[in-house]
Amino acid sequence: MDEIAELRRRIDILEAREAVREAMCRYWRAQIRAFLHGNESQDGLRLSHFGHNAEVSVSSADPGSASAIFKLEDWVTLSGVTIMKGFGQYRMQFRRGDDGIWRISRLRLLHDYREEFPRYIDGRRVSTTPALDQS
C-alpha cells in the first residue's frame, strides 16, 4: 500500500471513531429527553447520566461496522434525595448506513453496580433508567 493510501485508511478510521462517538451522543440526548419528558411532573428531579472513556474499534474486515465500550455513571435524585446510583458500561455495535450516518445496531447497558431507593409521588413509583439489552 502506498503512503497516500495508508494515510487515507488511517484518516477513515479516525473519522469513523468520531462518528461512532457522535452517534452515541445523539442516543444519550434522546434517552435523557425521553426520561425527563416521562417524569416532567416531578418537581426536584435531577438526572446525571455520564458516558465517557470510549473505546471504539472499527472492523478491518468491514469498515462500515464498529464496536465500542463506553463507561457510564448514573445518579438520579428527587428533591435532593438519591433514588438511583450506579455505574457500568455500554457495550455497543454500530453500522454505517448507506447515507454515511453511523447508527446503533446493538446496545447493551450493563450495570456493575446499581442501587435503587424507591420513591413514590401520587401513589406512582418514580422510574429510573432501565437496564437495556436492545438489538
Report angle CA 59, 71, 61 to the nearest 5 degrees. 5
Quick one: pLDDT at residue 40? 60
Q: Which domains can be identified in the chain, with CATH numbers? A: 3-134 (3.10.450.50)
SS3 10: helix
Quick one: pLDDT at residue 127? 66
Quick one: pLDDT at residue 89? 94
Mean pLDDT by 10 residues, the chain (135 residues): 91 94 90 72 78 92 94 88 91 96 93 86 70 44
Quick one: pLDDT at residue 77? 86
Quick one: pLDDT at residue 120? 78
